[in-house]
Every structure is written in C-alpha cells, then in structure tokens.
A and B are shown apart, each in its own frame.
Chain A
C-alpha cells in the first residue's frame, strides 16, 4: 500500500507496516512539548488523573516563552508551577529565563527534534518541525498530559495535499511570502485535518529558516502538519546538532494525494495578509498608503537568524519613521547573542528600534507591544485575528521580515524594494 511521507512516519511509530487515511492509530512519541500557558493546564490534569510519573524525562520539553520574563503575578505563578513540575520529574529539556527561546525556534536549534520524529506539542505552531522531515502537530493540554504519562497519542491518519514547488525565490522574497501565498490560495481551512507535503525541485533552494517558517504556518491553513523531504540542507542543519539519529522517510512515488497545488517560487512577490484572517493576502505593492504605528519583527514564525539578518540589512544606517514603534525580538538566546556579536543590536538601536529578549509577548497580545484602539501593526507573526495583538479595533498585517523592516522606515506598508 503506497503512503505519503506523513503516513510512513505514523505507521513506523504505530508499529504497523502500513496505514491508510482515516485510520485511527496509537503512535509512540519522540517528544512531548508544552509552554508556560499550556503546561499548567496539563499539570493540573496530570495530577487530577493520578499519574505519578512521566514516561521518559528525556523526551519531554517544557519551554517558558509566552509571558516570560514574567509579565505579572499570575504569569509568575504559572511559570513557577511549570518549574516545580519540571524539577519534580527531572525533565531534562526544561528551558527557563536565561536559557529559553521561543519554543519552535529553540527545539530545532538545540537538536531536540530531528528527522523522522513523531512529536506533539501543546502549542498550535508545533507543526514547525515538519521542516526537518518530522511528523509534528499541535494538540491541547490534555493530550500533553496523556503524552507525558504514556508516551503515546491517538491520531486519525491524515490524507495530504501535495504542494509542488518549482523555481527560485526572487530577492526580497522569503519563506513567509511562500506560506502567505499558499494560505491565500487554499484558505484558512483549505488543509483542514490534512497534511501539507511540500515537494518539487524548488525545495532545494529553500534555506532551513525558510522551511521552518513555511511549516510553522501550516496550521494557519488548518493543516494537521506540514512536512518537507529530507535533503542535503536538512542533513547539514542536523549535523552536530541532533540529539538522536535522524531517520529519513520518503513518500512513495505512487502515494495518493487529495489534490496538488503548484507554486512557481520565481513568480512570488512580497505578500501581506490583511486583517482579520491570514487568507486575506495581497501583494505589498498594491496596498497603497496604509499608515502604521507599530512594527514587530520576531515570533516563532520569523525570529530566526536569517530574519534578523534581513532586518539588519534594511534598517542599518537608517531611521525608523516618526510615529512608528519598531520592536525586534530575536527568538532564542543564541540568536540574540549572535545579533549582539554581529553588531545588529547596535544597528537596530541606532535606527530607533527596541530589542527584547526572546518572548512570544506581542504576537498573541500578551505584552511587549499591545495595540490601542485604531492602531495598525505590520508584524512578522502568524495571526491577524480580531484583537490578536491588543484592542478589538486594532489591526495586524502579516508580512515577511523584509516587508516589515521596510515599512518601519516609511511608516506605511512598503515593498522592500522601495527602501
């Protein structure tokens, strides 16, 4: 029976020679992940159910990233609860302030997730790790609790949409423009319950940071997971980093897909998702004079080193426009350190931007950049729902780091080419 790449990973983790779409399976998990918002709920459930131990302390990751350094007393209590649970169960991958990063940038960087893994995380953007050739999906806190106790999770085997990439991205275009374009094509529920399997000759020229960004937003099309084939780029990234030996799975040549979407990367342009859905995409060049008050460059979608480099190239020796607050958030401490060493932080400050330690903060309207009524923000984050970054009458425009940085300089939504 022919299988997609996702189905092959699931079959292997369910101990079966093959699985088919729609089948219910129990799969063994390589990593179970939670953060400071979802772990407390999981810990409560874990205790309520009377579990006394975790399945494997080395295969659980708890990352404090949403509201840390603690934004208020209640957030501090939640962090404390995570810390105490991690300590009690000797969780080896526990990341607190000083070591932490935004979970979906941190886990690949630290080699905690690798090719061939089966991963669940109590955070919807857990689908990011598909970039490494893993099956990885977001779940809720109860699934996290059950996963921590048993090392297993139930899944309905998904069917897949094949996304065939060809060509090469133009200058000023990146992974963000690819995924926004795709969501614009298929809609916010276009891949509901399904896998998005990326393939084609266009894959080879996409960097790992681009692939991580693309898989990160698979959930924004409703997908269960996004996944890239393992190639030289993947293996080079994993080398010297991956804790476990990568296992390479490939889709069968005759695997069955529900549909195929073709994207010629060379035809893409800087793309923006307008309020209030990620599917409301438009070329940045067509947006005219939309005045903005804030720019956020960071998040699990676009807070990686290439994103910082892109922002640096556009902002260095320039000034952020009057009336614009530009907030730059490197996603991990390692990225932050490199930004310091390369002189990016100095350049950002000289340009009039602020630089924060890693946090999810503004992306979900937590803190560190909340919008007032009527304010607009261009953000490299992943959601532009009503009230996502603050007031219900504020607006978020999703864009790439290049478009966001260019917009910071002009004060309105701007194509990178213009600056």
Chain B
C-alpha cells in the first residue's frame, strides 16, 4: 500500500473542532460532512485537496472530541495519509478503526514543508520527500493493528474472526 501527493502543513494541537466543527455534526453523511473538512483552520483545504494528498502536522494531532467524523472527513476528502509528530489517542484509534492511514514521525513532520511532493510506503514505513530528496523512517504499526488495517477496519476484522 502506498500514497503519493502534495503536502498540507499544520501546527501542533490540531483539534477535532477545527477538523470538523460541531455545528455540522447534525448529520452522519460522510460526503456532506467532508465539505467542511479543516474549515476552521484552513477554509481553502477542501477546494485545494486532491486524491492522495498528505497532511503533515505537529504534536497531538486530533486532540479533543471523540468524534469519528474527524478521521472520516479527512479520509473522505481523499487524503492519502496524515503524518504527525504524535496523535491524540482517540483520533489514533479512530483512524485505525475506519482505515485512515496515519504515521507518527517527528523528524518528517518537522522537516517536510507545505507544498512538497511526498510518497509513502506503508509496508516499510518509509516516507520520501520527493521535493527535497530526503527519506524518513516511521515506526510501522504493531502486528495486532496491522491485522485490523489489513482486514479493512475493526468491524470487518471482528466479522472475519467470528
């Protein structure tokens, strides 16, 4: 599994309220919700994002609410991966459960710049900044979590085990 695209860069502590403001949570329709992805931190994100693009952010990405709508809108917009220095734990869990690829890599998150072209190999955890020609190594997921992702999310995984 791979991802390749241009980078949108954000700071530390990007919270779920700016990823998908609660004023839109009166629906669970992913496509409708995705129209407002990142709206309160970057109103142009939805207009500019293309399939495969990559979000790069600082520490504690996805802090705040447990709303699964947050990873869901990022995925629905076509985002190929989120790379951050660290993730808030509920966001981390939700991303795995719904199948949004995420990688923790402080060095890559620090150095990769907005607009860079980046490619990712999820099997090896290798992140390549094509623009700067630099390579980073993210920690791959533990086997337990790899298994959930391989099966297509938590529920698909549970069904398979049944």
Q: A124-B90, A387-B40 are in contact. Are A277 and B159 (CB under 8 A)?
A: no
Question: Is B154 in contact with A75, judged by CB distance below 8 angstroms?
Answer: no
Tell me, yes or no, whether B86 is within 8 Å of chain A by CB.
yes
List chain B residues, Cβ under 8 A from A67. Answer: 25-26
B110 within 8 A of A: no
**A150 part of interface (Cβ distance < 8 Å):** yes
A50, B26: Cβ atoms closer than 8 Å:
no
A188 interface hit (Cβ, 8 Å): yes
Instruction: For B60, give its contact among A48, A74, A143, A189 (CB under 8 Å).
Output: A189
Q: Which has the most chain A C-beta neighbours within 10 Å: B25, B67, B98?
A: B25
Given contacts A142-B154, A143-B97, A385-B18, contact A188 B63 (CB under 8 A): yes
Known: A24-B144, A189-B88, A385-B18. A142 touches B94 (CB 8 A): yes
Please give, as numbers and ranges, the residues of chain A lying within 8 Å of B59 by CB-CB distance: 189
Q: A385-B17, A387-B17 are in contact. Are A142 and B155 (CB under 8 A)?
A: yes
With beta carbons under 8 angstroms apart, the residue of B21, B68, B71, B155 that contacts A365 is B21
Q: Which A residues between 269 and 327 are near B, CB-CB below 8 angstroms?
A: 277
With A41-B69, A388-B17: A49-B28 Cβ-Cβ less than 8 Å = no
Contacts of A38 in B (CB 8 A): 66-68
A224 to B90, CA, bound (A): 8
Complex interface: chain A residues within 8 A of B114 (CB): none
Option from B13, B25, B66, B89 in Cβ contact (under 8 Å) with A277: B13
| Assembled-state Cα–Cα distance A42/B60 (Å) | 25
- Say whether A209 faces chain B, with CB atoms less than 8 Å apart: no
B26 and A189 form a contact (CB under 8 A): no
B1 at the interface (CB under 8 A from A): no
**How close is A236's CB to chain B, nearest CB, in angstroms?**
31
B153 interfacial by beta-carbon distance below 8 Å: yes
Which residues of the partner chain B approach A40 to less than 8 Å between Cβ atoms?
28
| A250 CB to nearest B CB, Å | 25
Return A286 CB to nearest CB of chain B, in Å.
23
The docked-state distance in angstroms from the alpha carbon of A188 to that of B71 is 20
- A72 and B41 form a contact (CB under 8 A): no
Take A122-B66, A140-B97, A277-B13 as given contacts and tell me if A49 and B156 are in contact as well, using a CB distance cutoff of 8 Å: yes
Q: Which of A21-50 contact B (CB under 8 A)?
A: 24, 37-38, 40-41, 44-45, 48-50
Asked if B48 is at the interface (CB within 8 A of a chain A CB), the reply is no
In the complex, chain B residues whose CB is within 8 Å of the CB of A208: none
Kindly report which residue of chain B lies nearest to residue A193, judged by CB atoms: B89
Q: Please list 17 pairs of residues, one from A and one from B, whose beta carbons are closer than 8 Å in the complex, sorted by A's number.
A: A24-B142, A24-B144, A37-B25, A72-B26, A75-B26, A139-B66, A139-B94, A140-B97, A142-B155, A146-B154, A149-B158, A150-B158, A192-B60, A385-B15, A385-B64, A387-B17, A388-B17
Chain B residues packing against A (C-beta within 8 Å): 13, 15, 17-18, 21-23, 25-28, 40-41, 59-60, 63-69, 71-72, 86, 88-90, 93-94, 97-98, 142, 144, 153-156, 158-159
Q: Which 8 A-B pairs have the closest CB atoms?
A: A140-B94, A140-B68, A74-B26, A49-B155, A142-B97, A364-B22, A189-B60, A124-B66
| A interface with B by C-beta (< 8 Å) | 24, 37-38, 40-41, 44-45, 48-50, 66-67, 71-72, 74-75, 77-78, 121-124, 126, 138-143, 145-146, 149-150, 154, 188-189, 192-193, 219, 222, 224, 277, 364-366, 370, 383, 385-388, 392
